[in-house]
Amino acid sequence: MTGNAPVYLRWRDGRPAPVEECFDNLDTALEAVEARWEALQHQAPQILDARRILLLSKTELAAMWEDDALESGGSGDT
């Protein structure tokens, strides 16, 4: 999406202020989201660029994981 580093993962874990974690690039941030998706999916995760502009919202992240699940084994239902 963009070549600007760093990339931030932001989510809400019940505290008033969101939690933020910094990554070197978008791929690393997406890998972290994928690894923690079970917990993060209910905490409004967002991926932000270096200027803190939204790159991917919870809805877009959820769609990415659903698409991956369908491609990796959901085609045998016919």
pTM over 0.85: no
Choice between 68 and 32, residue whose per-residue pLDDT is larger: 32
- The C-alpha atoms of residue 6 and residue 39 are separated, in whole angstroms, by 23
pLDDT given for residue 4 in this prediction: 65
SS3 32: helix
Which is it for the CA torsion 44, 15, 34, 20, positive or negative? positive
Give the Cα separation of 57 and 60 in Å (integer): 5
d(CA 38, CA 24): 23
Whole-number average pLDDT of the chain: 87
